[in-house]
Amino acid sequence: MTTQLRLDDAMLGAGLLAGGANVIMQLAHPGVGYGVVESRVESGRLHDHPVKRTRTTLTYLAVAVLGTDEEKKAYRRAVNRQHAQVRSTESSPVKYNAMDPELQLWVAACLYRGFEDIYQAMVGPLDPDEREEVYRSSATLGTALQVREDMWPPTRAAFEEYWKQGLEKVSIDDTVREHLYDVATLGFAHPLVRKPLWRFNRFVTTGFLPPLFREQMRLPWSPGRQRVFDRLMRGIGFVATRSPRVLREFPYNAYLWDLRRRITTGRPLV
């Protein structure tokens, strides 16, 4: 590895095993959590349209990291049309607006932290120069939407301060926890998928969660489970990093190809 390692180099398709954990981290902020739970955008609800919701999320990651500036602009416009409909009502327990750059900054911070945690679990620790380079290239996770460049903490050390402050806002109540437990246990999936996989998904989801989020979700963990998790992730990473890049980046590259096809044919992007 070199000090030129960037976020696109750290983008492992196998890291999607951490997807449930990252969703939990994002929605642990009450404004994001209730924005998703109360969303009136029926087509974007995970339980109603799990395949479409997954495609939207993974396409965003793909275009934010691997896409061109024009592709990012096109996808931003499509996502903004959906986000503009997500805002709190008088009966909402917290105020939120999906167009709020501060909430989007939290989501982007969780995405970056997820990429870093995945890489370290599957490949190994980044040296300080690599870590800083990957971090610098990660601003696009937020700036692809409403986050301004000057809002993204300028250094990895500044990000750590932002992250610590963000953790003080983390709070998962029973309503959001019920939704997120379905994420951890594949409660939204077809029974033929859920039945054989839900325990494994809950295990890896819990393993990728930082302790505070595990506690908020009331998911048990132990040193023994941590050892099993560490060995499993290192084994998966060994295979993933020795695969050709086209396989290593799958399915992100497939979703980016699909986006380009949709742009060319005039089909909806979201």
pLDDT at 7: 79
Please state, as a whole number, how many other Cβ atoms lie within 10 Å of the Cβ of residue 32: 23
Gap between the Cα atoms of 268 and 270, Å rounded: 6
Contact (Cβ atoms closer than 8 angstroms) between residue 34 and residue 256 = no
pLDDT at 11: 81
Quick check: helix, strand or coil at residue 91? coil
Contact (Cβ atoms closer than 8 angstroms) between residue 19 and residue 208 = no
pLDDT at 176: 96
Residue stretches of the chain with pLDDT short of 70 = 1-6, 42-49
Please state, as a whole number, how many other Cβ atoms lie within 10 Å of the Cβ of residue 138: 25
Q: Phi first, then psi: what are they for 169, rounded to 5°?
A: -95, -5
Structure tokens at 213: 């989020």
pLDDT at 8: 74
> What residue spans of the chain are helical by DSSP H?
19-27, 30-37, 50-66, 69-83, 101-122, 128-136, 140-143, 156-167, 174-184, 191-208, 211-217, 223-241, 245-248, 252-265
DSSP state of 12: -
Contacts 24+ apart (CB under 8 A), 152-158: 152/105, 152/108, 156/131, 156/132
DSSP state of 97: B
